Chain A
Amino acid sequence: MSGTTRFKEFIKENMWVFLVLFCLILINIINQLSMGETSGYFWKNVLWHLIGLVLFCLLVIFFDYRKVPLGFVWIVYFLMVLLLMVLALFKKRWLVIGAISIQPTEFLKIILLYLLSLYINKKKELKLENSETIFLLGVILLPLIFILPVDLDYAFIIGTMFFSFLLFFGFPKRLLVGLVILGLILFIILTPIMWNKLKPHQKGRIYGYLDPEKYYKTWGYQLSQSLIAIGSGGIKGQGLKKGWSTRLDYLPAKNTDLAFSVFAEAFGLLGTTIFLILYGYLLYWGLMISTKAKDLLGKALSLGIVLIFMWQAFFNIGGASGLLPMTSIPQPFLSYGGSITIATYLLLSILFNIAFKKVFFK
């Protein structure tokens, strides 16, 4: 089979997911459009998508996920840890280079995923030794230590993402039980100590989460506004640019963290259901890829990508809807953001690359 026919076949085979991806991108663009007057965001968002799409196409076709050497990833990993260290030193979340500010945590997810997947790929079976597990946990925790002081939420979420990832690869049962017990003990002991160490805004988030209506004007403001926005959307939604919460600036961080609330207000349960179905289909397709992938690296990578996207949505939408404490993480395909958009495309291109490359296996 020639390259072009293979490509055609790949497209044909995965027509639905391409359609779904197209819809999700469209939703993101429409959602940013529905924010109204901030047209600057809209065009920048379109631009990031164009850059992302070009990257996506190039990587899917010309990249081979198997050809990444472990040593190279280690180097990138340590460079990233160094960068995070420096940023933590300056108490900065963003790396600002001229006009562009980059959120390194978005890219840390990709590096960690690749590193863990490559390590697992060397294994003969789906079973981790205790020492290996502790080593891998250390690999995950090392960069998170430096994220912790500047972005507690994201550190916790990345931890969750990769801890759950390791669970799929034969996490030693005894160690798990031990860790869980240790975790519980630490939680009980550390909570009172940590509580006093928490910054007022972090404590406030907890207060706001527990009773958004009581702290309507202070800590619960974001959550209250988000709940009102989502709730007032109803079944059919308020319509594009019509929702009060969005139009009258009641929703804070509407372009980024609470982009989901904007979408929910404008398009209602109908819109959010469609979004969850599309998003869910994409992830489900990712899981299918993990079964179809011919090597463990492909399986691990695609599963990891699915988990990253899944937890990201869980914490973002769960936070916006008051299910979980509000965290400041963006939602792929709804939020605006250069780093999240590019990182999303990079993860997707790895996933599609796995799907594309499976035909090359003998």
Chain B
Amino acid sequence: MFDKWQRRENLDEEWKKRYFIGKVLLFFILGILWLRLFYLQVIKHSYYLKKAKARSVVSYVIKAPRGEILTADGVVVATNRATFQLYIDLENLANEESTLKKLSFLLKEDYGSLKERFYLAKKMSFGRILLKRNLTWDEVARILVRQYYLPGVFVEVETERYYPYGEAYFHLLGYVARINKEEYESLKNYGYSSEDFIGKKGIEKIYEKFLKGVNGRLEIERDAYGRLGRVVGKISPKAGEDLILTVRHDLQMRAYELLKDKRGAIVALDPKDGALLALVSMPSLDPNKFIVGFESEEWNKYINDPARPLLNKAIQAYPPGSTFKPITALAGLEAGIVKGPNWSVFCPGYFNFGSHTFRCWEKKGHGSVGLIKAIALSCDVYFYTIGSRIDIDFLAKVAREFGLGEPTGLGFPDEKTGLVPDSAWKQKKFKSSWYQGETINIAIGQGYLLTTPLQMARAYMVFANGGNLYKVYVIKEIRSKEGKILYKESPTLEKKVTIQKDYYNWILEGLRKVVEEGTGKAARVPGIIVWGKTGTAQVVSLKKKTKTTEHHAWFVSFAGNSTPEIVSAVLVEHGGSGGAVAAPIAGELYRTFYKIPSSQKEIKILEERIEEVPQVYEAPEERPNVGNNTF
């Protein structure tokens, strides 16, 4: 008995140690587990929560419908249309091969070509892969009923940009295209998704932030098998804002038709406030093509085309030629060189300055020429005479008064400012002083002088409205989809050009005579008055003249019943003579503006041979290749 008791006591004593070890072991193990859980659930919580969300919730961008663009007369020129797009989400794609096989069967397409397209698109895209655009209802139905067996294949209804008038508005509106990687990287924090379209040129680019809208977001749960479940979050997209242009649709379309097979640009402005009425540059291309994307071959064709269809010619710089002469005339009057309308110069057909002989385009000569006749007939000798006496810096100052050599306010990033040269410019650029002989060139709009068609139209606006130089604008209003006007453009008067009343009347008389009986007769429109000036800008020296290097034809003009209501500039690259080629286009444009029936019959032109091609003064030294640009 005692032995048993003794044994138990020893055992209890001994067991206390075991118990203690057991307790320590238990606490140690549970403690380790708890610390691990604390690490995972507290310290790493946000990390794992983010992973859980990335794994379990797929979030899709609901693209905001882009704002529409309307003309002043209410025609929608950029809109959206709903299309069905077939997307492949690589993350959810179970079996590439079998999915593509199934799709090729459903779309009734060759497996090989579908596969090729898939790999091409895969290489290009960095989000989901857009495999096919514009699915038909039939295709949509065939895919949707089998969607369960096609994990990773999605049919999305998307709004896609559509330009109903294609080429006609390309250079004005620009275009949208799929966002590229660099743009996406820099814009992804501003609500852009990798599948967005973004304005790349023209109005679409400049007003991107208004047109874009705010993308929505759809968050859907995805289970371990890739099946989508319930919607856990939805943010509706906010449509972009609508732009109302100042452009008149009929005028724009007419301008497009008139220039269709030519190279060049037409710009029309409202002289009252600088509103853009039409802007066409040709050749053009269909902006809808940018949405589909180009085949590289087709794209190369466009960029290698010598006619430069991608270039907006309305805002490229050209020598203005004789269209600059009214400004020379005004400068001559203000400088006191031209002492009134009756101050005349005898034109024998040439003009000698130093050892150089400048030729008038009329080889026979114009005889005795006064201011009005000089403008009307574009007599070069008259303006050579002014050029030989006037200070280049003064002439440049007057030219700048008319907004030449500076941006017009339209705001297109690819707009050229042109060049109004003066002695300081030459000193800086060529480290040499100005020659008066060069001024003679500038006086007839050649030499270093470069202007864009838009600048010329704007400069003539000053003549048209009696001295107000407005900034050019194209957006009249920005409206929300609900119709609320968010922004209304008010015309900006950039500067007031003070022209003496007499001078103004004389020059206007000259411009009127150009159309009535001078070089610009082809622009005549019955019932209204057209004031204008032809120009034929030399491109390369006459010796090398070939078909493609023919002169640029200009006609800058304005028209109205008694007060001018439209001012336009027409430039036809390598078109030939301004009076024969550009002036009739302006006339037709005004007919459309005043709703006068068109007379497309050939208008008998005063001179059959090329008019007003002056011989360019060759400076004694190396001459910069400015006037010889072939654009």
The closest CB in chain B to the CB of A294 belongs to: B8
Assess the A228–B33 pair: CB atoms within 8 A: no
Interface residues of A in 219-268 (CB under 8 A from B): 227-235, 244-245, 248-250, 264, 268
Q: Which residues from chain A contact B57 at a C-beta distance below 8 Å?
A: 244
The closest CB in chain A to the CB of B221 belongs to: A248
Assess the B10–A291 pair: CB atoms within 8 A: no
Report which of A227, A276, A279, A296 forms a contact with B40, defined as CB distance below 8 A. A227
Q: Which residues from chain B contact A322 at a C-beta distance below 8 Å?
A: 36, 40
Contact with B along A320-333 (1 / 0, CB 8 A): 01110000000000
**Alpha-carbon distance between A214 and B261 when the two chains are bound, in angstroms:** 62
The distance from the CB of A294 to the nearest CB of chain B, in whole angstroms, is: 7
Contact with B along A157-190 (1 / 0, CB 8 A): 0000000000010000000000000000000000
**Alpha-carbon distance between A323 and B12 when the two chains are bound, in angstroms:** 36
- Residue A287 at the chain B interface, CB threshold 8 Å: yes
- Residue A147 at the chain B interface, CB threshold 8 Å: no
Assess the B22–A168 pair: CB atoms within 8 A: yes
Q: Which of A57-65, A90-98, A310-318 contacts B (4 or more CB under 8 A)?
A: A310-318
Report which of A248, A249, A284, A317 forms a contact with B33, defined as CB distance below 8 A. A317
Assess the B47–A314 pair: CB atoms within 8 A: no
- Residue B32 at the chain A interface, CB threshold 8 Å: yes
Assess the B36–A228 pair: CB atoms within 8 A: no
* Given A269-B37, A318-B36, A227 and B22 contact (CB-CB distance below 8 Å): no
The closest CB in chain A to the CB of B21 belongs to: A168
Assess the B34–A126 pair: CB atoms within 8 A: no
- Residue A115 at the chain B interface, CB threshold 8 Å: no
Interface residues of B in 1-54 (CB under 8 A from A): 7-8, 10-12, 14-16, 18-19, 21-23, 25-27, 29-30, 32-34, 36-38, 40-42, 44-45, 47-49, 51-53
**Alpha-carbon distance between A174 and B11 when the two chains are bound, in angstroms:** 23
- Residue B55 at the chain A interface, CB threshold 8 Å: yes
The closest CB in chain B to the CB of A164 belongs to: B25
**Alpha-carbon distance between A310 and B32 when the two chains are bound, in angstroms:** 12
Interface residues of B in 528-557 (CB under 8 A from A): none
Interface residues of A in 309-362 (CB under 8 A from B): 310, 313-314, 317-318, 321-323
Contact with B along A270-282 (1 / 0, CB 8 A): 0011001001100
- Residue B512 at the chain A interface, CB threshold 8 Å: no
The distance from the CB of A221 to the nearest CB of chain B, in whole angstroms, is: 10
**Alpha-carbon distance between A260 and B564 when the two chains are bound, in angstroms:** 86
Q: Which of B127-135, B222-230, B299-307 contacts A (4 or more CB under 8 A)?
A: B222-230
Assess the A234–B41 pair: CB atoms within 8 A: yes
The distance from the CB of A275 to the nearest CB of chain B, in whole angstroms, is: 10
* Given A244-B56, A250-B56, A276 and B22 contact (CB-CB distance below 8 Å): no
Assess the B14–A231 pair: CB atoms within 8 A: no
**Alpha-carbon distance between A94 and B14 when the two chains are bound, in angstroms:** 41
The closest CB in chain A to the CB of B34 belongs to: A276
Q: Which residues from chain A contact B32 at a C-beta distance below 8 Å?
A: 314, 318, 323
Assess the A269–B41 pair: CB atoms within 8 A: yes
The closest CB in chain A to the CB of B49 belongs to: A232
* Given A250-B55, A299-B15, A321 and B22 contact (CB-CB distance below 8 Å): no
Assess the B225–A232 pair: CB atoms within 8 A: no
**Alpha-carbon distance between A173 and B441 when the two chains are bound, in angstroms:** 114
Chain B at the A interface: SS class: helix
Q: Which residues from chain A contact B26 at a C-beta distance below 8 Å?
A: 280, 283-284, 287, 306, 310
Most chain B C-beta atoms within 10 Å of own C-beta, residue among A231, A244, A279? A231
The distance from the CB of A282 to the nearest CB of chain B, in whole angstroms, is: 11
The closest CB in chain B to the CB of A231 belongs to: B48
Most chain A C-beta atoms within 10 Å of own C-beta, residue among B18, B40, B222? B40
The distance from the CB of B32 to the nearest CB of chain A, in whole angstroms, is: 7
Q: Which residues from chain B contact A116 at a C-beta distance below 8 Å?
A: none
**Alpha-carbon distance between A268 and B38 when the two chains are bound, in angstroms:** 10
Contact with B along A283-310 (1 / 0, CB 8 A): 1100100110010100100010011001
Report which of B8, B33, B223 forms a contact with A321, defined as CB distance below 8 A. B33
Q: Which residues from chain B contact A126 at a C-beta distance below 8 Å?
A: 11, 14-15, 18
**Alpha-carbon distance between A233 and B46 when the two chains are bound, in angstroms:** 10
Contact with A along B46-82 (1 / 0, CB 8 A): 0111011101110000000000000000000000000
Assess the A303–B22 pair: CB atoms within 8 A: yes
Assess the B30–A280 pair: CB atoms within 8 A: yes
Q: Which residues from chain B contact A228 at a C-beta distance below 8 Å?
A: 48, 51-52, 55
Q: Which residues from chain B contact A303 at a C-beta distance below 8 Å?
A: 18, 22
**Alpha-carbon distance between A296 and B21 when the two chains are bound, in angstroms:** 17
**Alpha-carbon distance between A245 and B224 when the two chains are bound, in angstroms:** 9
Assess the A321–B18 pair: CB atoms within 8 A: no
Q: Which residues from chain A contact B222 at a C-beta distance below 8 Å?
A: 248
The distance from the CB of B33 to the nearest CB of chain A, in whole angstroms, is: 5
**Alpha-carbon distance between A313 and B27 when the two chains are bound, in angstroms:** 13
Q: Which residues from chain B contact A306 at a C-beta distance below 8 Å?
A: 22, 26
Assess the A264–B23 pair: CB atoms within 8 A: no
**Alpha-carbon distance between A254 and B22 when the two chains are bound, in angstroms:** 31
**Alpha-carbon distance between A314 and B28 when the two chains are bound, in angstroms:** 11
Assess the B18–A168 pair: CB atoms within 8 A: yes
The distance from the CB of A220 to the nearest CB of chain B, in whole angstroms, is: 13
**Alpha-carbon distance between A310 and B44 when the two chains are bound, in angstroms:** 26
The closest CB in chain B to the CB of A126 belongs to: B14
Q: Which residues from chain B contact A264 at a C-beta distance below 8 Å?
A: 37, 41
Interface residues of B in 210-257 (CB under 8 A from A): 221-225, 229
**Alpha-carbon distance between A314 and B35 when the two chains are bound, in angstroms:** 13
* Given A228-B48, A232-B48, A310-B25, A269 and B38 contact (CB-CB distance below 8 Å): yes
Assess the A235–B11 pair: CB atoms within 8 A: no
Assess the A276–B30 pair: CB atoms within 8 A: yes
**Alpha-carbon distance between A255 and B172 when the two chains are bound, in angstroms:** 65
**Alpha-carbon distance between A303 and B19 when the two chains are bound, in angstroms:** 8
Q: Which residues from chain A contact B53 at a C-beta distance below 8 Å?
A: 244
Interface residues of A in 107-124 (CB under 8 A from B): 124
The distance from the CB of B93 to the nearest CB of chain A, in whole angstroms, is: 13
Assess the B11–A296 pair: CB atoms within 8 A: yes
Contact with B along A130-153 (1 / 0, CB 8 A): 000000000000000000000000
The distance from the CB of A229 to the nearest CB of chain B, in whole angstroms, is: 8
Assess the B29–A310 pair: CB atoms within 8 A: yes
Q: Which residues from chain B contact A287 at a C-beta distance below 8 Å?
A: 19, 22-23, 26
The closest CB in chain A to the CB of B45 belongs to: A234
**Alpha-carbon distance between A268 and B40 when the two chains are bound, in angstroms:** 10
**Alpha-carbon distance between A230 and B51 when the two chains are bound, in angstroms:** 12
Assess the B22–A235 pair: CB atoms within 8 A: no
**Alpha-carbon distance between A290 and B18 when the two chains are bound, in angstroms:** 10
**Alpha-carbon distance between A237 and B553 when the two chains are bound, in angstroms:** 78
* Given A126-B18, A168-B18, A235 and B45 contact (CB-CB distance below 8 Å): yes
* Given A234-B49, A249-B224, A276 and B42 contact (CB-CB distance below 8 Å): no
Contact with A along B404-448 (1 / 0, CB 8 A): 000000000000000000000000000000000000000000000
What 6 pairs between A and B have smallest CB-CB spacing? A231-B48, A244-B56, A248-B223, A232-B52, A269-B41, A249-B224
16 pairs from A and B in contact (CB 8 Å cutoff): A125-B11, A125-B14, A168-B21, A230-B37, A231-B48, A232-B45, A232-B51, A244-B53, A244-B221, A268-B41, A272-B37, A299-B11, A310-B25, A313-B33, A314-B32, A323-B36
Interface of B toward A, CB cutoff 8 Å: 7-8, 10-12, 14-16, 18-19, 21-23, 25-27, 29-30, 32-34, 36-38, 40-42, 44-45, 47-49, 51-53, 55-57, 221-225, 229
Supply 17 further A-B pairs (C-beta < 8 A) apart from A234-B49, A264-B37, A280-B26: A125-B11, A227-B48, A231-B41, A231-B48, A231-B49, A234-B42, A248-B56, A248-B229, A249-B224, A250-B224, A276-B37, A280-B30, A287-B23, A287-B26, A310-B25, A317-B37, A321-B36
